[in-house]
Amino acid sequence: MFSRGPLAAFRKVAQGASRGFASQSATAKHPVQTALMGVSAATAVAAGGALYYLEKNSAHANMEAEGLHPPNYPFPQKTLFGTFDHASIRRGFQVFKEVCAACHSLDLVNWRNLVDVAYTEEEVRIMAEEYQYTDGPNDKGNMFERPGKLPDPIPRPYANEEAARAANAGALPPDLSLITKARHGGVDYIYALLTGYCDPPAGVEMREGLNYNPYFPGGAIAMAQNIFDGVVEFEDGTPNTASQITKDVVTFLNWAAEPELDERKKIGLKALLMFSTLTLIALWAKRNRWQTLKTRKIAFNGPKSWEKRPTPPPKH
Ligand code: HEC
């Protein structure tokens, strides 16, 4: 199977390897030394973990500027293989439409994007037709109004940034298409922000038109609290508490920012399964290929004449 050349090379490698092992074992550490090294490594890891935990969960000196760190909420899409709760996306879009769309745009989402995600095509068509869009110019050169169609964007509340600022006392309601990705803390931050309105602490004066929210960097936000118990009525009978409404709208906003999440995780799972199977096959194939060499014993037998030669007398 092997010609002489490669066989000799293999033998050299094999000898080299066994010599390597021998020299390693000669310099092996004392068991006490090994145990001490283990203990110090474990201590370092534990200390790192404790520091990380404290970093994540304690109050900072500059919390005022950074905002309170949001808690870790159990959104299913945050886990390794977890996907979106699509019923929640559907309820969340209803919340967006009925509450947030009065001030916030959603420029990167078109009506058609909702089809087969949270609504049927027919349902989306009916929702789109409730809005009027300016189109044209037509064959007479005039712009005209027509009902919305599937490829149209979700309508924006203001014509441009100036109009938006003018209507909100100078503050700009940001576009919400990518907001869960655009803010440190993602979905947890948005949830904590929307549910986190409270009275300012003693001694803190709020300027006219600003609201106290400890999760907002600086603590004073131009958006007033707008999610309360019962502010929307869900068609599927889900209790319309403020926390449920907020959870749904945050899930919807997360979908808007990462519509590929479900598919990405499905492909990731497939890739993991495929590559781990291939790795096992590769390991097996390697064993199979090398077994003739790994189980070989090479012995050298001298010529017959050597056996008959008398032992030479010892030299002094
Ligand atoms: C009455 C108008 C209005 C409504 C309704 C409204 N917002 Fe806002 N929103 C604002 C304004 C104004 C800002 C800018 C605040 C600032 O910069 O101080 C803002 C900011 C935000 C921010 C960004 C905060 C940050 O970290 O910069 C998020 C997220 C947000 N709104 C989500 C929502 C959601 C979700 C809804 C619906 C449940 C909603 N808003 C409803 C006016 C509104």
Identify whether residues 181 and 216 lie together within a single domain: yes
Does the CB atom of residue 245 touch ligand 1 within 6 A? no
Residue identifier of the C-alpha nearest atom 36 of ligand 1? 100
Question: Measured in angstroms, how far is the CA atom of residue 220 from the centroid of ligand 1?
Answer: 12
210, 240, 259 — which closes off a domain? Answer: 259
| Total domains in the fold of the chain | 2
Question: Measured in angstroms, how far is the CA atom of residue 184 from the centroid of ligand 1?
Answer: 16
Question: Measured in angstroms, how far is the CA atom of residue 72 from the centroid of ligand 1?
Answer: 21
Which of 295, 281, 290 lies closest to 6 in space, CA to CA?
290
Question: Measured in angstroms, how far is the CA atom of residue 173 from the centroid of ligand 1?
Answer: 5
Identify whether residues 278 and 186 lie together within a single domain: no
- Give the mean model confidence (pLDDT) for residues 96-122: 97
Q: What is the CATH number of the domain that holds 215?
A: 1.10.760.10
Identify whether residues 241 and 209 lie together within a single domain: yes
The vertex-131 CA angle with 125 and 137, nearest 5°, equals 100
> Binding-site residues for heme c, please?
100, 103-104, 223
211, 243, 259 — which closes off a domain? Answer: 259
Identify whether residues 184 and 269 lie together within a single domain: no
Write down the pLDDT at residue 14: 45
Q: How many other CB atoms are found less than 10 A from the CB of residue 225?
A: 14
Identify whether residues 164 and 239 lie together within a single domain: yes
209, 240, 259 — which closes off a domain? Answer: 259
- pLDDT by residue (tens digit) across 123-174? 999 999 999 999 999 999 999 999 999 999 999 999 999 999 999 999 999 9
Domain that includes residue 76, residue range = 64-109+153-259
Q: Considering the chain, what is the average pLDDT of its residues? A: 88
Count the residues in the chain: 316
Identify whether residues 252 and 269 lie together within a single domain: no
Residue 99 lies in a domain: yes
- pLDDT by residue (tens digit) across 257-296? 999 999 999 999 999 999 999 999 999 999 999 999 999 9
Q: Which of 103, 154, 190 to mutate to test the pocket of ligand 1 (most atoms within 8 A of CB)?
A: 103
Identify whether residues 104 and 209 lie together within a single domain: yes
Residue 307 lies in a domain: no
Q: Which of 172, 223, 254 to mutate to test the pocket of ligand 1 (most atoms within 8 A of CB)?
A: 223
Identify whether residues 277 and 201 lie together within a single domain: no
Identify whether residues 209 and 99 lie together within a single domain: yes
Which of 157, 88, 108, 155 lies closest to 128 in space, CA to CA?
155
- pLDDT by residue (tens digit) across 4-23? 444 454 455 445 444 444 33
Q: Cα–Cα distance between 197 and 114 in angstroms, integer? A: 31
Residue identifier of the C-alpha nearest atom 19 of ligand 1? 173
Identify whether residues 183 and 228 lie together within a single domain: yes
Atom of ligand 1 nearest to the CA of 171: 12
Residue 53 lies in a domain: no
- 128, 200 in Cβ contact below 8 A? no
Local structure of 308: helix, strand or coil: helix
Whether 120 has a pLDDT exceeding 80, the answer reads yes
Identify whether residues 92 and 198 lie together within a single domain: yes
pTM: 0.78
Query: For 53, how many CA atoms within 13 A lie in the half-sphere containing its CB?
Result: 6
Does the CB atom of residue 173 touch ligand 1 within 6 A? yes
Question: Measured in angstroms, how far is the CA atom of residue 287 from the centroid of ligand 1?
Answer: 61
Identify whether residues 283 and 223 lie together within a single domain: no
Q: Cα–Cα distance between 19 and 24 in angstroms, integer? A: 9
- pLDDT by residue (tens digit) across 181-210? 999 999 999 999 999 999 999 999 999 999
* Beta-bridge partners for 153: 110
